[in-house]
């Protein structure tokens, strides 16, 4: 059975008259990668600060690993690793020296600290540059070292705030793979706050979308897409061989007629010789079968399911909210 690792119950945060987080309830399960999305100022960082016990909620309860973050912030800090967008290191020291120092600050004796630092550096793929000063590290290398730093205290939960911003595509991929590995091989639960919808889509089991301090949607992308995008969820592009040798010519009129008899079809159009069908269900197989049965020569079919961008835009444009 799923075990909660982060529990927010009816939490709010007010700054004077302004409500930064408004009556938020959310449970994140153990071993889950959960993505927090939302525009600037929507309340993501404030929520994270409350989880870490760094700011007190004005109302409600926050528990991490079963511990109340507001009354026991130090106990929570022992279990949670927090990686900020910009990680600070002693730039005139090497990666290894920085990590050994961090391990010793966490109460690990020097010999063990060195071994632990070596192991973690290997885990995040920085062995080749472990003796390089961190002042010469790229943003991607700094983030990976930051992750190693967070892992020093063997956290049960890791909170990542914009971890991929400013990293090149290969660096991002390596970082995202590392996150997945931490969940799969070490059972670490991960909260990932980001503005990059694709990165979130790639690694997160579930997402939560914030807007003006409220959680507008929570769930996995597939079920959110099914609940929120009631029309135009799929785009099916079809191409036919309409040359004179091919015989029957497939036309837009054929699709328009079909649309009038199939409720799943929201619209049809033609662009650069391709027919485009927007539908609420995946009807690509039905379409291709019909086309071929009626003697047309289908030579291209491409199906796209609208994912996280469509869900995000739907909510930002004032669409209905959803939480499962």
Q: Which residues bind ligand ATP (CB under 6 A)?
A: 15, 20, 38, 40-46
Distance in Å, CB of 215 to ligand ATP, minimum? 12
Task: Output 39 or 135, the one with its CB closest to ligand ATP.
Answer: 39
d(Cα 290, Cα 261) in Å, to the nearest integer? Answer: 13
Task: Output 134 or 193, the one with its CB closest to ligand ATP.
Answer: 193
Distance in Å, CB of 15 to ligand ATP, minimum? 3
Task: Output 41 or 295, the one with its CB closest to ligand ATP.
Answer: 41
d(Cα 112, Cα 106) in Å, to the nearest integer? Answer: 12
Task: Output 45 or 69, the one with its CB closest to ligand ATP.
Answer: 45
Distance in Å, CB of 310 to ligand ATP, minimum? 21
d(Cα 209, Cα 304) in Å, to the nearest integer? Answer: 22
Token duo for residue 162: 């914009």
Distance in Å, CB of 32 to ligand ATP, minimum? 21
Distance in Å, CB of 308 to ligand ATP, minimum? 16
Strand 234-240: give its sheet, edge to edge.
265-271, 274-279, 234-240, 298-305
- In sign, the C-alpha dihedral spanning 111, 117, 122, 128 is negative
What does the buried/exposed string (b/e) look like for 137-155 if buried means 16 or more CB atoms within 10 Å of the residue's CB? bebbbbbbbbbbbbbbbeb
Token duo for residue 98: 């920085």
210 to 43, 51, 148, 295: CA distances (angstroms): 7, 16, 29, 50
Distance in Å, CB of 245 to ligand ATP, minimum? 58
Task: Output 62 or 124, the one with its CB closest to ligand ATP.
Answer: 62
Strand 67-68: give its sheet, edge to edge.
18-29, 4-15, 59-64, 67-68
d(Cα 86, Cα 4) in Å, to the nearest integer? Answer: 29
Task: Output 196 or 282, the one with its CB closest to ligand ATP.
Answer: 196
Task: Output 149 or 161, the one with its CB closest to ligand ATP.
Answer: 161
Distance in Å, CB of 138 to ligand ATP, minimum? 23
d(Cα 273, Cα 29) in Å, to the nearest integer? Answer: 48
């Amino acid at each position: 059975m799923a075990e909660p690792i982060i529990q927010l119950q009816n939490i709010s945060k007010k700054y004077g008259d302004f409500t930064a987080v408004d009556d938020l309830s959310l449970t994140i399960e153990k071993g889950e990668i959960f993505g927090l999305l939302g525009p600037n100022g929507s309340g993501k960082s404030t929520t994270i600060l409350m989880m870490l016990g760094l700011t007190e909620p004005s109302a409600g309860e926050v528990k991490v690993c079963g511990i109340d973050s507001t009354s026991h912030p130090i106990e929570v800090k022992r279990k949670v690793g927090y990686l900020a967008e910009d990680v600070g290191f002693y730039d005139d020291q090497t990666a290894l020296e920085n990590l050994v120092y961090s391990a010793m600050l966490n109460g690990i004796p020097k010999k063990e600290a060195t071994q632990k630092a070596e192991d973690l550096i290997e885990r995040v793929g920085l062995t080749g540059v472990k003796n390089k000063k961190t002042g010469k590290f790229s943003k991607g290398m700094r983030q990976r070292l930051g992750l190693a730093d967070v892992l020093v205290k063997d956290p049960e939960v890791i909170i990542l705030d914009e971890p991929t911003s400013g990293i090149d595509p290969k660096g991002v991929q390596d970082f995202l793979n590392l996150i997945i590995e931490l969940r799969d091989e070490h059972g670490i639960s991960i909260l990932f706050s980001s503005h990059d919808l694709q990165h979130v889509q790639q690694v997160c089991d579930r997402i939560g979308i914030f807007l003006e301090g409220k959680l507008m949607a929570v769930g996995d992308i597939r079920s959110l897409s099914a609940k929120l995008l009631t029309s135009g969820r799929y785009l099916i592009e079809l191409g036919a061989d309409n040359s004179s040798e091919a015989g029957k010519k497939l036309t837009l009129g054929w699709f328009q007629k079909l649309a009038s008899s199939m409720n799943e079809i929201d619209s049809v159009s033609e662009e650069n010789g391709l027919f485009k069908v927007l539908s609420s269900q995946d009807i690509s197989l039905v379409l291709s079968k019909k086309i071929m049965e009626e003697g047309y020569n289908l030579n291209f079919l491409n199906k796209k399911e609208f994912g996280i961008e469509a869900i995000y835009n739907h909510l930002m444009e004032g669409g209905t909210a959803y939480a499962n």
